[in-house]
């Protein structure tokens, strides 16, 4: 059985636990033995973005120490995965031993959809997803990790259906962590602009791979009668569960 570590981002742990459980159950159903390490609970990205590298480094040190088992680290968040892969090594430029550990961890850190497609080789797994689905990339995962086609491959259906990528997909949703708190009006305007292609697409579900994007866009969408924003882990796991029912 394939083994992997699951990193649960702080936003998922504190506000969106369903994403964490869906990720865990999805990996298990796909044959992955999952270890949940005792990490500090935050990758440190919010502190690095706020110009507090010492605090970010302390958290990074805790994450690195918690996953020194050589197994892949799977993250249901593109921005957190990008933080670990590309920013952890730079945080320890003055500590060669820790930097070596950060570089080693970077090589085995994956955003969830990238892990399933690029590491496990899962594509077009035959999911009969209910309703029309649209997909919106995470700007951090897209630009930092090159994650674009992997979620679309996972969302493909045995009946030839699948998700379509929205227009303006490369533009930021407006969340940006602390950005949404410092400039709320600009952030809200960006969210509504990003939702417009979805509202006009005829799709019922907008799938994202970023918990922050899901929270931000869901808040902007409000209590819509027929449309919703969902994380890919939840969509895929529920589709597998439906398929398994007699």
Per-residue pLDDT at 127: 60
pLDDT at 118 over 80: yes
pTM of the entire predicted model: 0.93
Average pLDDT of span 217-234: 91
Per-residue pLDDT at 244: 74
Give domain limits for the chain.
2-118, 123-244
Tens of pLDDT, residues 193-204? 999 999 998 889
User: Predicted confidence band at 36 (pLDDT cuts at 50, 70, 90)?
Assistant: very high
pLDDT at 103 over 70: yes
Topology, domain 123-244: Rossmann fold (3.40.50)
3-state secondary structure the chain: CEEEEECCCHHHHHCCHHHHHHHHHHHHHCCEEEECCCCCCCCCHHHHHCCCHHHHHHHHHHHHHHCCCCCCEEECCHHHHHHHHHHHHHHCCCCHHHHHHHHHHHHCEEEHHHHHHHHCCCCCCCCCCCCCEEECCCHHHHHHHCCCHHHHHHCCCCCCCCCEECCCCCCCCCCCCCHHHHCHHHHHHHHHHHHHHHHHHCCCEEEECCHHHHHHHHHHHCCCCCCEEEEHHHHHHHHHHHHHCC
pLDDT at 184 over 70: yes
Tens of pLDDT, residues 47-102? 998 899 999 999 999 999 999 999 999 999 999 999 999 999 999 999 999 999 99
Tens of pLDDT, residues 124-172? 765 666 678 899 988 888 888 989 899 999 988 655 566 777 776 678 8
Per-residue pLDDT at 51: 92
């Amino acid at each position: 059985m394939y083994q992997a570590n699951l990193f649960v981002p702080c936003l998922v742990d504190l506000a969106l636990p369903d994403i964490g459980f869906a990720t865990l159950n999805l990996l298990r159903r796909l044959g992955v033995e999952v270890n949940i390490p005792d990490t500090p609970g935050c990758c440190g990205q919010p502190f690095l973005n706020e110009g507090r590298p010492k605090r970010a480094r302390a958290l990074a040190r805790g994450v690195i120490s918690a996953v020194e088992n050589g197994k892949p680290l799977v993250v249901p968040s593109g921005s957190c995965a990008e933080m670990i892969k590309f920013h952890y090594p730079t945080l320890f430029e003055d500590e060669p031993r820790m930097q070596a550990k950060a570089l080693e961890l970077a090589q085995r850190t994956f955003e969830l959809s990238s892990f399933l497609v690029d590491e496990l080789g899962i594509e077009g797994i035959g999911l009969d997803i209910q309703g029309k689905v649209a997909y919106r990339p995470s700007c951090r995962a897209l630009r930092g990790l090159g994650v674009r086609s992997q979620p679309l491959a996972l969302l493909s259906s045995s009946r030839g259906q699948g998700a379509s990528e929205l227009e303006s997909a490369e533009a930021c949703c407006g969340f940006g962590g602390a950005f949404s708190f410092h400039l709320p009006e600009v952030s809200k305007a960006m969210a509504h602009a990003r939702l417009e292609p979805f509202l006009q697409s005829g799709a019922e579900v907008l799938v994202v791979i970023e918990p922050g994007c899901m929270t931000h866009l869901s808040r902007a969408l409000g209590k819509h009668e027929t449309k919703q924003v969902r994380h890919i882990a939840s969509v895929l796991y529920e589709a597998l569960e439906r398929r398994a029912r007699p």
